A = this chain, B = another copy of it.
Amino acid sequence: MLSYSDSYSLIERNIAQLSVNSRPVELYEPIQYILSLGGKRIRPCLALMAHNLFSEQISDAINPALGLEVFHNFTLLHDDIMDNASKRRNHDTVHVKWNENIAILSGDAMMILAYQLISKTQDNLLPRILSLFNKTALEVCEGQQFDMNFEKQNTVTVKEYLNMIRLKTAVLIASSLAIGTITGKAKKDAIEKMYLFGLNIGIGFQLQDDYLDVYAQPEKFGKNIGSDILSNKKTYLLINALSSRNSKLVKELKQWMDIKNSDPDAKIKGVKTIYDQLKIGEITENTVKKYFDKGLKYFQQVDIPETRKENLRSFVNKMIIRDY
């Protein structure tokens, strides 16, 4: 059975071999560049490992898996333009390294390349894979638009936020597992269960990300602690805190949000103290756990021997950081 590490190596090797060195170079170089910046390759690895639950013919799943990774990187490329981000994985973003027009157009070409790869499957599987992928891709765009809307909205409800991360993040995780299950020629019931497994852990991962921005142990966490707090980002934590009935603490929180040029450490500490008083950390931990448990329950219902599930379960468990 494929482990995550096996899957990762397979994906890396195949990404390096993608023939995206055609002409005009201005169109294809940025694609090669962003794909070479690395990352955990979670989506294609999930697809390969899901496929391997049902089939030993790994080669049947490689191209659709690559397509999912290329699509994910396309969304990063265009999102970076929209978010005006200058860095991606510690390197210049495409619109900074080249320019915005090149970033728009090479992103467009990447989406088409993703479709080309996803279509490289057995003809009888194509309609189902394509229909799921089309739906998912559109939902990812909807999620990104909601996310941009939220920046300008005064209030965002918890329900709206959960719907946004479902669309922006979770459906692609869900479809990666489902598409691997389809290429593995599993039955409809297994495909649906694997999709719901991915959907719930996808929401869990995003909420965990929100949590870790505030509560991670700095030495174990790759990113700077508190960056969401400093940018007033409407995370699950902030949205929950702002919806509290404790009007005194909500007022205090809004004051921290309104201060311009405050001392960063003081703001992080101040907001965190409010979160602690409102038990936002615990609320978030419980919600994360709820989604992970729900996801794993769907996985449990997939009707194959437990021994076949070990590698995928161990990979997902490793992503679920129990020790913050």
Please name the residue on chain B nearest to A138 by beta carbon: B112
Contact between B137 and A27, CB atoms less than 8 A apart: no
Q: Copy number in this complex?
A: 2
Measured between C-beta atoms, what is the minimum distance from A258 to chain B in Å? 25
Chain B's closest residue to A24 (CB) is B145
- Choose, from A5-13, A113-121, A226-234, the stretch at the interface: A113-121
Question: Which partner residue on chain B sits nearest A26 by CB separation?
Answer: B145
From known contacts A105-B145, A108-B141, A115-B115, infer whether A130 and B126 are also in contact, taking CB-CB under 8 Å: yes
Whether the pair A104, B82 counts as a contact (CB closer than 8 A) is yes
Query: What interface size band does chain A fall in?
Result: 35 or more
Residue of B nearest to A134 (CB): B116
Interface assignment of A146: CB less than 8 Å from any CB of chain B:
yes
* Least CB distance, A122 to chain B, in whole angstroms: 9
Contact A119 B108 (CB under 8 A): no
The listed residue (B101, B126, B138) touching A126 by CB distance below 8 A is B126
- Within A89-118, the residues touching B (CB, 8 Å) are 101-102, 104-105, 107-109, 111-113, 115-116
- Decide if A81 is an interface residue (CB 8 Å cutoff): yes
Identify A101's interface contact among B82, B116, B137, CB under 8 A: B82
Residue from A105, A107, A146 having most chain B Cβ neighbours under 10 A:
A105
Out of B27, B130, B144, name the residue touching A141 (CB < 8 Å). B27
Instruction: Please judge, given known A-B contacts A27-B141, A112-B137, A112-B141, whether A104 and B104 are in contact too, CB under 8 Å.
Output: yes
A112 touches B134 (CB 8 A): yes
Q: List residues of chain B with CB within 8 A of the CB of A146.
A: 24
Besides A27-B145, A109-B142, A115-B137, 4 new A-B residue pairs in contact (Cβ under 8 A), listed by A number: A27-B142, A115-B115, A119-B130, A123-B124
A-B contact pairs, 8 of them (CB 8 A): A26-B149, A105-B145, A108-B141, A109-B141, A111-B112, A115-B130, A119-B130, A123-B123
Interface residues of A (CB under 8 A from B): 22-24, 26-27, 78, 81-82, 101-102, 104-105, 107-109, 111-113, 115-116, 119, 123-124, 126-127, 130-131, 134, 137-138, 141-142, 144-146, 148-149
